[in-house]
Structure 1
Amino acid sequence: MQSHEGSGTDKRGQPFADEMFFLVQMNSLEGPLLGFHRVFSGVERKVSFEVSVEARSCPAEDTSHVFTIKPAGFRDTLEVVVTYNCICGCTGWAEQESSKCSGNGTYACGLCECDPGYLGAKCECEEGANGNMYHNMCREVEGKPICSGRGECSCNQCICYESEFGNIYGSFCECDDFSCARYKGVLCSGHGECHCGECKCHAGYIGDNCNCSTETDSCVSNDGQMCSGRGNCVCGKCQCTEPGAFGETCEKCPTCPGVCSTKRDCIECKLFNSGRLADNQTCQKHCKDEIITPVDVLKTDDQNSVLCAYPVNDCVMKFTYSELASGKSNLTVLREPECGSAPDVLTILLVVGGSILLIGIVLLAIWKLLVTIHDRREFARFQSERSRARYEMASNPLYRKPISTHSLDFTFNKLNKSYNGTVD
């Protein structure tokens, strides 16, 4: 067993335990050990002793003490000489009846030591005088309680009460360091100091209760965007603004327009070891929450899944995307892309020719229909105008009868072959 003990005497050989306080602490490889006795086993163990000495009072001037420290059973000793410095540097100068003390005290070391019968920081109050005349000086505003109800007015000054919750201070005891806003029961969220009812936030925090972090690192998604470009970073957390988006960085969004291209990168790098992410060797970082299942036949009748497709060498790769309750993404992918058969040239020509012929017939029929409608309208208008016409009966002055009558006087004698008569 090893132990250590302390003893001391002054120059006269008198003990001075009442004037000084000793604290002895042993330190070993096992950590600090308090007390005066400790059992150690083994050899070559290093033990150090720390001794703290505190003066309980100031003895007479030029007093010094000597004490010896030694471990029991060893010859080695340590003698310590203690001297006291109980005089401040400013006590050698003092101004009696100083104007700074209202002429009623001695000014020394920045404080007034009032003469008997006077009180106050500047010795401005007379002891035993009626204090009611000073109460108005202890009100912040007329009508408010004296010293805000949290202190006593003494000689124009508020002496604030002590509180188990913290400090009460201020000229009118109006301030404290425990009445600030709390977050989850913690004053100023543990990220600030309470000063006179207001939280003074530490660097990197804002808000009435300092619960809002200004850091944005936690809002950066795996693709380097703030909240995946689908929200705003507020108090160190993403608030998603895109409909259907969720997740710590709004990275989950089955209904967002660009979700298929995002999941495509993960499929290419994890399933086919190709694509943009495979080249950058960041596949595991960006696609750690994607569960990819290859299938031969893709089911597309799940209403909770989004069907995506993208071209691959004149073919089409299809997959479905849905979010699981655990927050991971479930991707079901075709093992091989879908590729259609080569087009039939003859079929294409027949279809194109038939389409052109059909269009020509339709246009011709439309033209014929329009012409018929136009002719019917013109004929109807002609008939209408004809029925409205009215004519008077009269002879045409230019008209000549086809039969003409002429009278000729001649004599015809039958014998002599002449005749006298009229011929029409």
Structure 2
Amino acid sequence: AEGLNLCTSGSATSCEECLLIHPKCAWCSKEDFGSTKSITSRCDFLQNLIANGCAGAIENPSSSISVVKNVPLSSKGSGQSHLDVTQITPQKVALNLRPGDQTSFRVQVRQVEDYPVDLYYLMDLSLSMNDDLDNIRNLGTKLAEEMRKLTSNFRLGFGSFVDKNISPFSYTAPRYQNNPCIGYKLFPSCVPSFGFRHLLSLTDKVDRFNEEVRKQKVSRNRDAPEGGFDAILQAAVCKEKIGWRKEASHLLVFTTDDVPHIALDGKLGGLVQPHDGQCHLNEANEYSASSQLDYPSLALLGEKLAENNIHLIFAVTKSHYILYKNFTTLIPGTTVEILHKDSKNIIELIVKAYNSIRSKVELTVWDSPEDIGLTFTATCQDGLSYPGLRKCGDLKIGDTVSFEVAVEARSCPAEDTSHTFTIKPAGFRDTLEVAVTYSCRCGCTGRAAPASGKCSGNGTYTCGLCECDPGYLGARCECEEGASGDLHMALCREAEGKPLCSGRGECSCNQCLCHESEFGNIYGPFCECDDFSCARYKGVLCSG
């Protein structure tokens, strides 16, 4: 290779150090390698080591990959036992990485047809939503009819929210205790405010949904923002009570006509404890920590929705569309649609959002180790490669997309370290588990021979070199340190205070062994001479 040789100039003193310099560097573990006059670097490019006569004793591990589990993709969702549906392949790979040596594997993802759907309808029951309540009284039946065109296995659930029933969010004076609408001429009677109520667990009996909706009455809160994020979090984490199925696609439809309270707003009501991300539904299926915990942050919401594979659909009125659109960029796997003032368009909205969700695939990475670099290249429906992209859009249900995942270890962790991380399409329950081990040790290190005859019995012979025991020096540990030890070293210095062997060689007992250089010869008792340092004229030494 022309130019500077990375491997030889890295001055590696052991096989492991050599491997870390560059993924193309190899180590020669042959005993009698190089000439006696100068040190031939054992760390070099593979072709140089072979040219220098080291074939058969070269340490040069490379990254490798093996597929551990590879069940083929399913074509349909509801025909077979649902737990067997596969939407990502492979499901498990094992990587053995040499630092700097990139390796890659291909992941395929398919949006399987006729996949079961669980839809939980979360409704804002503040006063301004009264006309919406009238309009969704028969929603269950109509929605089920529409959704059954998309999946033969559909279940529906229902919950509602207003806001925390404490001041300044709600009316808390004694006269408002049972009816916060007292004295409000436009709407004189309503129910007390509440944080979140889970009303109907996911069921395929859609008439139950209609019955529940008909029982609901609106409430009145004091400030404009609502406590919807409290409700979203409970709907996401209370899996057993809500009834989310492992084998279904999870949709959470959030309908509101106002802005939400977010983390730190709780301080206004004296709530300083951050949300713990846990389920707090009591026997009556009401959110019991409403007046103890602050509202959740966007980060916590995003984490819990992703953890439970939930697609959040914001169905919001036009005036708040931009705000919620901005939220979707901060909470992955979320969509936003415009809800008419009276919720008339809710069915087409849900169908549109469902189709939008099923039209894209985005890979997410969980628990990725810090010392591992991942790069993605997406191959979408148009057959083109998109480097740096980990998502595809404009898909039809049943389409398959693939991703090239390149993995590179940046360093060597402590010995015998292994890592596992997960690649998961957002909103899918399917995952790909990646187990990583590191190739940082040389095979010859495992064959090290202590007190070896090759090292005059005074050191460990490993990978072609002697590691001398304390008190011994020399390439073969043949010199004893001690009274004359400093003298041995002194004989390698041109003058006191000068570097050993002019910094261009190694002192073995009392002799300098000079390094090899790409520029020419280094020689002399102290490696002080060379044939490439004279002045050049037109690039030629001593004008030729």
The TM-score, its normalising length taken from structure 2, stands at 0.24
Larger Rg: 1 or 2?
1
- For CA contacts below 8 A with separation 6 or more, give which structure has more relative contact order: 2
The TM-score, its normalising length taken from structure 1, stands at 0.29
